[in-house]
Structure 1
């Protein structure tokens, strides 16, 4: 059975929203575990929820503290090297899409010219 695309919108039904939260949380924590195991990276997750009195901390509070502490120990230049604001992220995406558009237009022009040349060689106008 194939999965259908999920429309991202607020789930109005409380019980359905809670069930979806539990499933998604379990999936997210499983992916975090796979990421740390397969790629040998340090990662942590902190989930705040209205359904639980305390936040869920993965892998454990001490592990999360270690990851956060190692991030805080990094020099300022290393911390912000790959960080981008929402505006900068969107600007990069627009620039990338613009480059892809230019490349596609160039490819289309070349294909059109090739098609016209073949028509000329075949004696068509």
Structure 2
């Protein structure tokens, strides 16, 4: 059970956004073919999963605003900074590989999952260095 009301509200917001993301991604996969012609409908359907990602990021930001305990807020901020460092490092390194070698491009759609994985690694880092991982 989450430790504070702020965490409970965060989990609800994140759960709703994640469900919308999964549903919107399935809708786009079923209704749009690869490289579908640009139309108002195809753009609207293709953008829906991204809007859900914005909801997830908003849930994280809202958590930071609602956490009253400065220590818990610091744990969350450290996780997000760690995730940002992981995502930017991978983007920079892979970008150089793309520019100077013949590697396959890294689709930009993977940056949010990479960032999220970095946040999970940040929780591990918090646990190892401070003895507490934060929310998750």
TM-score bin, normalised by smaller chain: 0.3 to 0.5
TM (normalized to structure 1)? 0.35
* Larger CA Rg, structure 1 vs 2: 1
Q: Which has the higher contact order (CA 8 A, sep 6+)?
A: 2
More helix by share: 2
